[in-house]
Structure 1
Amino acid sequence: MSCFAIPDPFVWDETFKVFYDKLDTEHKGLFQGIFNVAANPSDAGALATLKQAVADHFASEEAMMKAGNYPDYTTHKAMHDDFTGTLNKVATPVSNDTIQFAKNWLVNHIKNTDFKYKDKL
């Protein structure tokens, strides 16, 4: 698995495009959510908003995978569940290590894992 660099500033760009408008829009929201938490690690509202955006996106993406009979659904969902489990344990103030973990996870999950479903959903 390749390891991709975290963009600076931490914003979605065209290199993250999965070519499903709904998912690309949701990915942009995840980037913004992590950016907002990084900007103010003590903001419980920003953290709650990120957690909700992650839950909503994973539900949406998993529904598309199921509808498209995506063959790697189970493995992909397990990655989502692991990340959600970790994120749900996070409280404010959010540590820099946790923010870096979330950034790294999102960047590499999109480019290594989500890219596999291009043209398959």
Structure 2
Amino acid sequence: MGFDIPEPFVWDESFKVFYEQLDQEHKGLFDGIFKLAKAPSDGAALSNLAKLVNDHFAHEESMMKKANYDDFDSHHKAHVDFVATLKTVSCPVGADKLHWAKDWLVNHIKGTDFKYKGKL
């Protein structure tokens, strides 16, 4: 999409949104994808990633609503679209789907989440 995917695939300071809980959740998403990449046949790793995603999106969106964030609708749609695609993923998870998840997360944080810095 636009931003480089870090290798190894781990969160670093360049992904900081400056909301401690959201930064911790983003780290967890990186870790969830990393673990799934290490064990693409592990259904528990895929289920864990789905739970991390759903929990994070719900928390982030609640913060946006509370702050009357003006770009909520398009941000929410990006989340809905990601979850819909993630639901189509099954084990063993192919390299193409892992790349998609990594690329989406990197570009969503740096291209979309960064827009709410200082606004929540």
Q: Same fold (TM over 0.5)?
A: yes
Matching of residues 1-40 of structure 1 within 5 Å: 3-40=2-39
Which runs of at least 4 in structure 1 moved beyond 2 Å after TM superposition? none
Structure 2 unaligned spans of 5+: none
1:101 aligns to what SS in structure 2? Answer: helix
Count of aligned positions: 120
Identity among equivalent positions (%) equals: 60
Q: Within 5 Å, give how 1:80-99 maps onto structure 2.
A: 80-99=79-98
Secondary structure of 1:5 counterpart: coil
TM-fit CA distance, 1:89: 1.3
CA apart distance, 1:88: 1.0
CA distance in 2, matches of 1:95, 1:37: 10
Does 2:77 align with 1:78? yes
**CA root-mean-square deviation:** 0.7
Counting only pairs closer than 5 Å after superposition, residues 34-113 of structure 1 correspond to structure 2 as 34-113=33-112
Unaligned stretches of 5+ in structure 1?
A: none
TM-score when scaled to structure 2? Answer: 0.99
Cα separation, 2, equivalents of 1:23 and 1:93 = 29
* Alpha-carbon shift at residue 77 of structure 1 (Å): 0.2
